[in-house]
Amino acid sequence: MDNKQFLMYNIVMIAISLGISITLSLFLPFYLSLPLIIVIFNLINFYMRNRMMKKMGGGAGMFGSLSSPFSGNSINYYCMSCGTKHKEAACPRCGSKMKRVG
């Protein structure tokens, strides 16, 4: 698979996920479809990132703003209050336990 094929593959995956999202939002009430859509997008995103890492061996560039799995030892957490990247149970800067995986 070269870069052009890879780009096409990504576009197809995004189209599929959009299709699933639209279909879900048509058949399910918003409060049910939204969490499902988020889960589906996360799964596809995770899957694509894994593929990309294998193809590009490090994956610099394309998704530079997203944190790479190689930037830390494993998963990074970001404080939901102040945005600090940390791996503690609570944020070392503001003490908030609300965090998101990045």
Measured from the CB of residue 79, what is the shortest distance to Zn ion in angstroms?
3
Residue 65, Cβ density class (10 Å: 0-12 exposed, 13-18 middle, ≥19 buried): exposed
Measured from the CB of residue 77, what is the shortest distance to Zn ion in angstroms?
10
Nearer residue to Zn ion within complex by CB, 7 or 97: 97
Order across the sheet with 99-101: list the strands.
85-86, 77-79, 99-101
Applying CB under 5 A, the site for Zn ion has a residue count of 8
Chain contacts with Zn ion (rule: CB under 5 A): 79, 81-82, 84, 91, 93-94, 96
